Structure 1
């Protein structure tokens, strides 16, 4: 796999580019990667799955935009930030949001038309306007009790969404 890196404050690494053509991508674990920069996988339609180590705390804007083959991704437990359009136009059907992600910003999952199910873990506070805009297959969203703000436009263009409210135990 062909990754480009740069060191960031704290002696960790940011992946700034990817030139591979792998179907199953594994973000390296032999160095401490904390950031997947903007656009690095953008348009890589061949990617079907991505393994991201728990050291990653930030997903840049458009990082998986247009990865129309992407069906499986597990977000790392320590992830704190997902920037706008991070998961736009993928084929992911289900996603679990770690509680360490405090907000889902506008357009994070924009036009992910295969997305059917989203689960929010305890800790997430806010879902902004258009976070799931035009996710036309989205039917089930499981909301943690920690969510304090859900924009009335968060699920705009999602016509069949059922919101399931969970208690602190996730039930």
Structure 2
């Protein structure tokens, strides 16, 4: 009997040791692993940085991978070569403030950055869709620039972003989904790279009151827009008995100019502090003959299409920035003149 009791006690002790071993092994937190067949991830505790590297599509990371520390991550580095981000991949990374998304990413699934409550801004690569719930609940987000090429902003993409003040939307957008900008009651300015007539053609679903009630700035690309012709002479603005000197903005640089069928596509560098841009184009290099004006009423605009031109004709183009203060225009110097031939 004593031998049996002794054997039982030994067995219980062995179970206790094995149980303790299993608990210790389970409690260990992994700081690296797989996040796709060709993608690995690594977490640096000291810098609180999560880095993904490799190529191809990510797979949904199981909760056992980074759930224990995801609320500590402040910096997220996504390596070039990764092409898509799976749904809810970084949801509830509540301390995340710095994100790097490479241009190789062309698709982001549902809710990738939902609930990232410390994220104030993010630069996105070109893609066709801003998916559902992508930034829902990003309560610190103050501005967003939807990349050129996006066609659809899907349901609740930016819902419940109460500090969102400005949004830039490209003319490529044709649909804005249900409650995409719901509860974004701080939204004041929408910068649209197309014209008012193009904006009116966008299908905007219900629940987007903050977007529709914001001040919408249109980039007007009609060639016959009339502009004040003070050529930069307005340098002061009087306000009752005070006189304030307004500094001119820097002039932009034409990055590229492409001739298309009866049109020209011009892109330029944006200028800090500008209210917009003034484009002139003419068949004469010195602009002494008939020329046309174009007004771009958006400080973030970087491209415009000059339409209704003659085919197979050489045009000269220049651009300058301007500030608008108390109804007066203050212009920068003109950029260098560039030329192109239409098709």
TM class by shorter-chain length?
A: 0.7 to 0.9
Compute the displacement of 1:153 (Å): 2.7
- Runs of 4 or more, structure 1, over 6 Å off, are none
Unpaired stretches in structure 2, ≥5 consecutive residues: 1-30, 39-54, 222-265, 267-295, 298-343
Matched, 1:143 2:189: no
Q: Which residue of 2 aligns with 1:28?
A: 79
Q: Hey, what's the Cα distance between the residues in 2 that align with 1:35 and 1:41? A: 13
Unpaired stretches in structure 1, ≥5 consecutive residues: none
State TM-score, norm by structure 2: 0.44
The correspondence for 2:170, drawn from 121, 125, 128, is: 121
User: What is the 5 A alignment of 1:4-19?
Assistant: 4-7=34-37, 12-17=56-61, 19=66
Q: Against the structure 1 CA distance between its residues 113 and 140, is the aligned structure 2 distance closer, same or farther, given a 3 Å change threshold?
A: same
Q: Which has the higher helix share?
A: 2
User: What is the 5 A alignment of 1:1-171?
Assistant: 4-7=34-37, 12-17=56-61, 19=66, 20=70, 21-29=72-80, 32-76=81-125, 78-90=126-138, 91-145=140-194, 147=199, 148-151=201-204, 153=206, 155-156=208-209, 161-168=214-221, 171=297
Q: Hey, what's the Cα distance between the residues in 2 that align with 1:3 and 1:16? A: 12
| Larger RCO, structure (CA 8 Å, separation 6 or more) | 1
State TM-score, norm by structure 1: 0.83
Structure number with bigger Rg: 2
Q: Hey, what's the Cα distance between the residues in 2 that align with 1:159 and 1:112? A: 16
RMSD: 2.6
Q: Does the 8 Å CA contact 1:137/1:158 hold for their aligned counterparts?
A: no
